[in-house]
Amino acid sequence: MALIRPALIWAVLALALAVPLAAAASSPLLAWRDPIYIVAGFAGIIALCLLLLQPLLASGALPGLSARRSRRLHRWSGLGVLTAVVVHVVGLWITSPPDVVDALLFISPTPFSAWGVIAMWAAFAAGLLAALRRKWRIRPILWRNIHVSLAVVVVIGTVIHAILIEGAMETWSKLALCGLVVIATVKLLKDLRGRTARTRSQRSRT
């Protein structure tokens, strides 16, 4: 029984990541797309998949991983999110520069563009703060609050962005993946709030 639960968790996670990717790969819409556009689109899908891993790694929810390894993988996964976002934007820029400019200026007629840009800048800000955290000597509590706040913006913006787009991703698998990303993020927020409450309680007793 002790081995069944971790195996089920990893199996569910693998399905949650693989099914949307497989469904998108089999989309008939890809037949009319340029290779660069397809790469850009899948970079966005990969970024969404990595957003599911981020809160799970941050909270240590994945069995078999030590806290230290989870934190390390969280950093690498975050770098993967940033890389995927860059590939996504650059690919779209190559295929249609005016659309990207309109999106960056928040004048695009498509509502999903604004949410994607908001999520992008929040992701870049989170990555920049992570890189300069030690140099700027940001206090741990302040760092966590800023980082988590930016992460929430990334999740909200990305999920809305993905749901509003009618592209290669299959609808139900996309909704399921987005739902899991939100659930994992909410669980992380509750865990962090619980840790903060316990820490304050322990300090008040001492």
H-helix or E-strand spanning residue 136: helix 111-136
Residue 169, CB half-sphere, CA atoms under 13 Å: how many? 27
> For residue 191, is pLDDT > 70?
yes
pTM above 0.85, yes or no: yes
Q: Which of 9, 21, 73, 26 is nearest to 49 (CA)?
A: 21
pLDDT single digits (tens) 40-97: 999 999 999 999 999 999 999 899 999 899 999 999 999 999 999 999 999 999 999 9
Among all chains, which residue has been given the structure tokens 């659930």? Answer: 183
User: b vs e for 105-126, b when ≥16 Cβ sit within 10 Å of the residue's Cβ?
Assistant: eeebeeebbbbbbbbbbbbebb
Could you give the domains of the chain?
Answer: 18-205 (1.20.120)
The pLDDT value given to residue 199: 61
- What the block records as the tokens of 75 is 């950093």
Q: Is 36 helix (H, G, I), strand (E, B) or coil?
A: helix
Residue with tokens 């949307």: 20
What is the pLDDT averaged over residues 130-139? Answer: 86
For the chain, the straight-line distance linking the first and the last C-alpha, in angstroms and rounded, comes to 40
- Whole-angstrom Cα distance, residue 87 to residue 36? 10
Contact criterion met (CB below 8 Å) for 75 and 130: yes
Query: Higher model confidence: residue 118 or residue 192?
Result: 118
